[in-house]
Amino acid sequence: MSAAFTLYDYVLSGNCYKIRLFASLLAMPYQSVAIDFYPGYEHRSERMLSLNPAGTLPVMVTSAGGQVLTETNAMLAWMALHDGGAQTPWFPAVDPALGPQVQQGLAFGAGLTDSIGLARLHAMLDWPVDGEAAKRAGLKHLRALELHLTDRQIDGGLWWAGAHPTIADLACFPYVALSPDAGLEHDGFPAIRRWLYAVRSLPGFATMPGIHPLHELR
């Protein structure tokens, strides 16, 4: 089977991992091009800026038509629609109830990137940001997610929205799972721990450095 897309990738990036994880869950073939984000800053090279002038990762180039996508949420949506069309449970965009809820989850995932993701960059690579401010914002996001998932679980649900996992769960999972890298542990968040376990239990789950297989947690 030919590759559905090319992914310009950095192994330690939570956003890049979202795409690798979803590809694994869908059993969707793709070609990976490793980018030296640090210390090489290859994402800011002339070659990469010609693909994505914002200089961020990941970058996806679809095999059919050569469409270039530079926003992670757009990549998740493309993959879901490419795999299952408009009826895919991963992105129920045409569902008037679930569609907006999934969109909210995607936006919340972007907030996790901008808070926990930045705090993790500061902690691991001494990235020039206010690490303490990012950590405080990340804790706020974890508390909000715990409330949301607690409400869902009280109502008999497990996922961000609906009865099945969606791309909203995948948008949120990596930086929540990686939050201990930024000094934000999961001990006080039982609903989050239950949800993390459920994501790790999905058939086809793939790991990355810092996110371990399910059997290593038992």
Q: What is the pLDDT of residues 26-44, one digit of tens each?
A: 999 999 999 999 898 999 9
pLDDT of residue 84: 78
Q: Does position 218 have pLDDT exceeding 50, yes or no?
A: no
Return the pLDDT at 93.
82
> Which strands form 59-62's sheet, in the order they lie side by side?
31-34, 5-9, 59-62, 68-69
User: Which of 11-15, 36-40, 187-191 is least confident?
Assistant: 36-40
Lowest pLDDT segment from 9-18, 93-102, 111-120: 93-102
DSSP code, position 113? I
Please give the domain boundaries of the chain with CATH numbers for all domains: 5-87 (3.40.30.10), 98-207 (1.20.1050.10)
The first and second tokens of residue 218, run together, are: 């038992």
| Window from 57-66, 151-160, 177-186, 206-215 with minimum mean pLDDT | 206-215
Strand-pair category, 31-34 with 59-62: unpaired
Q: Three-state SS for 6?
A: strand
**What single DSSP character describes residue 209?**
T
Confidence label for 216 from pLDDT (cuts 50, 70 and 90): low
Q: How far apart are CA 195 and CA 153, in angstroms?
A: 9
pLDDT of residue 184: 97
CA dihedral 48, 112, 121, 211 (to 10 degrees): -100
pLDDT cut 70: percent of the chain above it? 97
